[in-house]
């Protein structure tokens, strides 16, 4: 079956593009796949509207891009363990408010994530992304040179500290904590496909920059976090049911906007394994 060549329509200055002309439940040919890979590395966040796909179809689409990576902490639909259900209700509001890159506590953090809107609040619940190519490229040459040689520690326990503090949280997450000791990654990574450099620290999982004093590390990370998400480096998506966003986790930060109060929001996510940052 021959799928049409996708069209990319940029949605903001630094990142984000809507992709038209594809239904993700179809079998995609190799040329279309190559166009999507290149489009992802360039636009960093791809948005597909009107994608009424099943969890199995979401899994099959994602698997064309690499090995899928189940999450250690989230529930899944029956029979599709690669799909994580991210659900928030009045009883179970979202605990993650911080800008982050997914699962940087892993030795090989995801290449990307594919998130589908299933149940959306009447208003609110947007997602923000920030280009870390743009963040790196906006730094001065001396600062880029300083950061290029540094490494930082990323820790699952640090990112899930609110969940761990809930009653029974430490017991529920004990296996995930044991399986995910702190990891070290470069502060600046080079995207394996585009060859562009990107900042690679985030306030959810990064605990410290190695080799600096605690005060130096805290001050530098605070500067980088503010710099990384300046307005002109961001893109904001308003979801609708069956909107799919596919973001490149190697060169972006993202953040849920928790302004939907107690309204129900249900998303399904698949994560694609990436390489070791370098």
Matching residue, tokens 């966003």: 245
Angstrom distance (rounded) from CA 228 to CA 200: 10
Active site residue 269: yes
Instruction: Choose between 73 and 212: whose C-beta lies nearer to Fe ion.
Output: 73
Please pick, from the candidates 16, 45, 58, 102, the single residue that binds Fe ion as defined by CB under 5 A: 102
Q: Which stretch binds Fe ion (CB under 5 A): 24-32, 100-108, 159-167, 235-243?
A: 100-108
Q: Which of 100, 154, 196, 265 is catalytic?
A: 100
Is there a catalytic annotation at residue 242? no
Token output for 267:
């998303």
Q: Which residue number has the CB closest to Fe ion?
A: 102
Q: Rounded to an integer, what distance in angstroms lies between the CA atom of residue 111 and that of residue 1?
A: 27
Structure tokens at 11: 């949605």
Map the footprint of Fe ion across residues 15-74, applying CB under 5 A.
none
Site string for Fe ion, 184-213 (x = CB under 5 A): ------------------------------
Of 6 and 125, CB closest to Fe ion = 125
Q: Kindly state the smallest distance separating residue 164's Cβ from Fe ion, in Å.
A: 18
Least distance in angstroms from the C-beta of 130 to Fe ion: 13
Structural contact between residues 214 and 63, judged by C-beta atoms closer than 8 angstroms: no
Of 62, 42, 108, give the one whose Cα is nearest residue 252: 42
Q: Could you say which of 43, 59, 71, 102 is catalytic?
A: 102
When the beta carbons of 51 and 249 are compared against Fe ion, the nearer one is 249
Query: What sign results for the dihedral spanned by CA atoms 63, 68, 73, 78?
Result: positive
Paired with 128 in beta bridges are 236, 255
CA angle at 16 for the pair 156 and 142, rounded to the nearest 5°? 65
Q: How many residues bind Fe ion (CB under 5 A)?
A: 1
Stretch that binds Fe ion, among 11-19, 96-104, 128-136, 185-193 (CB under 5 A): 96-104
Q: For this structure, is 102 an active site residue?
A: yes
Q: Which of 189, 254, 260, 265 is catalytic?
A: 254
Q: Is residue 164 within a helix (H) or strand (E), and if so which, with residue range? A: helix 161-165
> Closest by alpha carbon to 135, among 206, 44, 63?
44
Closest distance of CB 233 from Fe ion, Å? 17
DSSP state of 84: E
Query: Of 46, 23, 32, 34, which is closest to residue 248 (Cα–Cα)?
Result: 46
Annotated catalytic, 259? no
Q: Report, in Å, the least distance between residue 115 CB and Fe ion.
A: 8
Q: State in angstroms the smallest separation of the CB of 139 from Fe ion.
A: 24
Residue 103: CB minimum distance to Fe ion, A:
8
Q: How many Å apart are CA 252 and CA 233, to the nearest integer?
A: 10
Q: Report the catalytic residues.
A: 100, 102, 254, 269
Positions touching Fe ion (CB under 5 A) are: 102
């Amino acid at each position: 079956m021959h799928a049409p060549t996708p069209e990319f329509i940029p949605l903001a200055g630094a990142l984000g593009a809507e992709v038209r002309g594809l239904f993700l439940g179809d079998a995609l040919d190799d040329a279309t796949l190559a166009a999507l890979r290149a489009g992802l590395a360039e636009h960093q966040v791809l948005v597909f509207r009107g994608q009424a796909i099943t969890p199995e179809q979401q899994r099959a689409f994602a698997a064309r891009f690499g090995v899928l990576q189940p999450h250690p902490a989230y529930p899944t639909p029956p029979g599709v363990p690669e799909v994580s259900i991210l659900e928030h209700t009045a009883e179970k509001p979202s605990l993650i408010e911080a800008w982050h890159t997914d699962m940087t506590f892993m030795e090989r953090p995801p290449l990307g994530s594919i998130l589908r809107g299933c149940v959306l609040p009447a208003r609110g619940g947007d997602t923000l992304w920030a280009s870390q190519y743009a963040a790196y490229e906006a730094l001065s040459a001396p600062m880029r040179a300083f950061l290029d040689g540094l490494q930082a520690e990323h820790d699952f326990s640090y990112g899930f500290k609110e969940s761990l503090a809930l009653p029974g949280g430490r017991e529920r997450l004990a296996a995930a904590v044991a399986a995910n000791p702190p990891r070290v990654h470069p502060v600046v990574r080079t995207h394996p496909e585009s060859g562009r450099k990107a900042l690679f620290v985030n306030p959810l999982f990064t605990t410290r920059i190695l080799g600096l004093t605690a005060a130096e590390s805290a001050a530098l990370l605070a500067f980088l976090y503010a710099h990384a998400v300046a307005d002109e480096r961001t893109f904001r998506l308003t979801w609708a049911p069956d909107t799919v966003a596919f973001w490149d986790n190697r060169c972006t930060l993202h953040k849920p906007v928790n302004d939907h109060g107690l309204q129900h929001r249900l998303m399904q996510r698949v994560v694609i394994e990436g390489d070791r940052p370098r």
